[in-house]
Homo-oligomer: A and B are copies of this chain.
Amino acid sequence: MKCKKCGRKAVIRLRAHNISLCKDDFLSFVLNRVRQTIKRYRLFHPGERILVAISGGKDSLAVFDILQRLGYPVEGFHIDLGIDGFSQRAREVAVRFLAERRASVHLYSLQEEVGASVPQIASQLRRPPCSLCGMMRRYIMNRFACENGFSALVTGHNLDDEGATLLGNLANWQIGYLARQSPLLPATHPRLVKKVKPLILLSEREVLAYCLLRDIKYHEERCPHSKGATSLRHKEVLNLLEYYSPGSKIRFYQEFIKNQGIFPSLDPHEMRECVVCGFPTTRDKCQFCTVLEKFRS
């Protein structure tokens, strides 16, 4: 198996693109892919202050590494969710990675700021931890980015993540979600920071290979709560489709984005401001403040 670019020994075969590449050419391929994504979907404008959400997993470290190499001024933000040993180990990985990159690191501890961990809140409120955790992380990241003058918030979502979300939305024809699923969510309110996903054209396998070949030490553990998550099942279904027809995943996602305009935005709610924290919400009180209030009562 030879590299299609230089003829040296290839280290990876990319069936979706019908090429094999050596280490150096694969690393360039990944950087080019992200550069293209940024250009095609106009993810950044000049002079942007960029905050990258760093969970410690492969995707978050890869997107930070790549943006830094492409010359973007990036800073890291890590949330300690207080999940048993999992969160401590994730935090150590995130802090070490950002220190090695001489990057600014912002740490947020749910235990310190709110006085409880995600599992404690979920258990007291008898809610599934994953949806609660997702909602809280989105709130905390947006609020932190906003209050600290960042103009873009980057997450490491890859093609498999977005494909699985798309399949899930289509499986139930969630028209409203379909209208909003995008590589870029613009700042539609002064206190909503733009959300950006630069890795959406790279598959999970490509991101993993990038980390391995760059020797990026990421946090390998799966969150103990993620077992049996629907998104993992949807990823498996898409991988079967990809196995049968290489390139299916990227075509499925890109053609969707091209045609997304046909899904009417079903959001009739005016954006309001939470009576407690002042951040945007579609209700009187935002979900984050509602959860905290219930937990403390």
On whether the beta carbons of B255 and A173 are closer than 8 Å, the reply is yes
User: Chain A contact residues: over half helix, strand or loop, or mixed?
Assistant: helix
Q: Which of chain A's residues 237-273 have a Cβ closer than 8 Å to chain B? A: 237, 240-241, 244-245, 248, 251-252, 255-256, 258-259, 262-264
Distance between A182 CB and nearest chain B CB, rounded to angstroms: 15
In the complex, residue of chain B having the shortest beta-carbon distance to the beta carbon of A252? B171
Hey, what's the 0/1 contact readout for A169-206 against B, CB within 8 Å counting as 1?
A: 01111010000000000000000000000000000000
On whether the beta carbons of A244 and B233 are closer than 8 Å, the reply is yes
In the complex, residue of chain B having the shortest beta-carbon distance to the beta carbon of A257? B173
B residues near A248, Cβ cutoff 8 Å: 171
Interface centre among A167, A173, A175, A256 (most CB of B within 10 A): A173
Distance between A109 CB and nearest chain B CB, rounded to angstroms: 36
A220 within 8 A of B: no
On whether the beta carbons of B259 and A262 are closer than 8 Å, the reply is no
A264 to B259, CA, bound (A): 11
Interface size on A, residues (CB 8 A): 25
A244 to B237, CA, bound (A): 10
A236 within 8 A of B: yes
A256 to B252, CA, bound (A): 17
Interface centre among A236, A237, A240, A252 (most CB of B within 10 A): A237
Interface, chain A (partner B; CB < 8 A) = 167, 170-173, 175, 230, 233-234, 236-237, 240-241, 244-245, 248, 251-252, 255-256, 258-259, 262-264
Given A171-B248, A236-B240; 13 other pairs, CB 8 A cutoff: A171-B241, A171-B245, A171-B251, A172-B252, A173-B252, A173-B255, A173-B256, A230-B244, A230-B245, A233-B245, A234-B241, A237-B244, A262-B263
